[in-house]
């Protein structure tokens, strides 16, 4: 009787996603000639210009030396319906540093705290422009100032801009699960700790748009790879 009760009780506990061990990893290839890097015009704020004496390259398109694309948001679009994944308490940090957002593209879970930080001694005005979530628009005049926000609904993607510095932009993918990644300096993404299943993986790039692929993970510890290709 006691044992049955214990089994029933343990089945009711939600399994933390770290209990799963299937992975999807891969690359986002850029085919064709890489567009020339664009210099950002910082002249609107001499404080910002002074922080970048050698100039600053725009991040809208960043083709890596190995012909891959950086800052592509890669996430599980379908295949997790009916499962719930509680958000981490640990915040995602969006820093305003050198009159620039760091990171340029990132993922966050619904109801996970987003900590927006001003590391500069310059006024920034962070302005989120969601379609599904609540818009906000905050002046952050003091160095070291922090503001916490959450997003209540999933949304691909929420854009942030600075109302003082028109060149500043960042994009967040807001999801109800933690299965997302952003391609790095080698064009690599990695989505870890998935349950076995059949998934639709979608990629989003600021300029080159959306692609998707089906990926199946047959076993609890399966690994699959996926390659995406963008053209200019
Ligand atoms: Cu700014």
Q: How far apart are CA 35 and CA 56, in angstroms?
A: 16
Summarised one tens digit per residue, pLDDT across range 91-113 is 999 999 999 999 999 999 999 99
pLDDT at 18: 58
pLDDT given at position 220: 87
Ligand 1 centroid – CA 98 distance (Å)? 9
Burial label for 5, CB within 10 Å (0-12, 13-18, 19+), is exposed
**How far is 207 from 217, CA to CA, in rounded Å?**
30
Ligand 1 centroid to residue 138 C-alpha, Å: 11
**pTM passes above 0.95:** no
Helix (H) or strand (E) holding 4: helix 2-12
Asked whether 107 and 182 are in contact (CB, 8 A), the reply is yes
- In the chain, the domains with their CATH numbers are 86-176 (2.60.40.420)
Q: Quick one: pLDDT band at residue 11, thresholds 50, 70, 90?
A: very low
Cα R_g (the chain), whole angstroms: 20
CA distances from 44 to 99, 187, 201, 215, 226 (A): 11, 33, 40, 46, 42
Cα of 144 from ligand 1 centre, angstroms = 14
| pLDDT tens-digit map of 121-153 | 999 999 999 999 999 999 999 999 999 999 999
Indicate whether 89 pLDDT > 70.
yes
Q: How far is the CA of 74 from the centre of ligand 1 (A)?
A: 27
Average pLDDT over residues 154-168: 97
Task: Report CA(206)–ligand 1 centroid distance (Å).
Answer: 20
- Work out the angle at residue 179's Cα, subtended by the Cα atoms of residues 198 and 116, and round it to the nearest 5 degrees: 160
From CA 52, how far away is CA 26, in angstroms rounded?
Answer: 34
What value does the mean pLDDT take over residues 2-17?
A: 48
Alpha carbon of 163 to ligand 1 centroid (Å): 7
Is the predicted pLDDT of residue 1 greater than 70, yes or no? Answer: no
Question: Containing H/E element for 51?
Answer: helix 46-51
Task: Give distance in angstroms: CA of 143 to centre of ligand 1.
Answer: 12
Question: How close is the Cα of 124 to the center of ligand 1, in Å?
Answer: 4
Measured in angstroms, how far is the CA atom of residue 56 from the centroid of ligand 1? 14
- With cut-offs at 50, 70 and 90, classify the pLDDT of residue 180: very high
What are the φ/ψ torsions at residue 158 (nearest 5 degrees)?
-95, 125
Q: What's the pLDDT tens digit per position in 54-71?
A: 999 999 999 999 999 999
């Amino acid at each position: 009787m006691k044992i049955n009760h214990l089994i029933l009780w343990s089945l009711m506990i939600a399994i933390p996603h770290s209990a799963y061990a299937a992975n999807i990893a891969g690359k986002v290839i850029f085919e064709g000639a890489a567009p020339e890097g664009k210099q950002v015009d910082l002249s609107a704020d001499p404080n910002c210009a002074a922080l970048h004496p050698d100039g600053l390259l725009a991040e809208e398109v960043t083709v890596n030396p190995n012909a891959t694309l950086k800052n592509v948001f890669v996430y599980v679009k379908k295949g997790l319906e009916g499962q719930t994944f509680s958000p981490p308490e640990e915040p995602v940090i969006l820093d305003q540093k050198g009159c620039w957002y760091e990171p340029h593209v990132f993922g966050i879970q619904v109801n996970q705290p987003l900590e927006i930080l001003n590391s500069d001694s310059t006024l920034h005005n962070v302005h989120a422009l969601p379609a599904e979530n609540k818009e906000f628009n905050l002046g952050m005049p003091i160095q070291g100032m922090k503001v916490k926000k959450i997003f209540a609904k999933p949304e691909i993607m929420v854009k942030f801009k600075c109302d003082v510095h028109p060149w500043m932009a960042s994009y967040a993918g807001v999801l109800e699960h933690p299965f997302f990644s952003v391609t790095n300096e080698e064009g690599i993404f990695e989505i870890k700790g998935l349950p076995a299943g059949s998934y639709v993986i979608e990629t989003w790039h600021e300029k080159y748009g959306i692609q998707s692929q089906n990926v199946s993970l047959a076993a609890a510890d399966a690994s699959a790879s996926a390659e995406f290709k963008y053209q200019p």
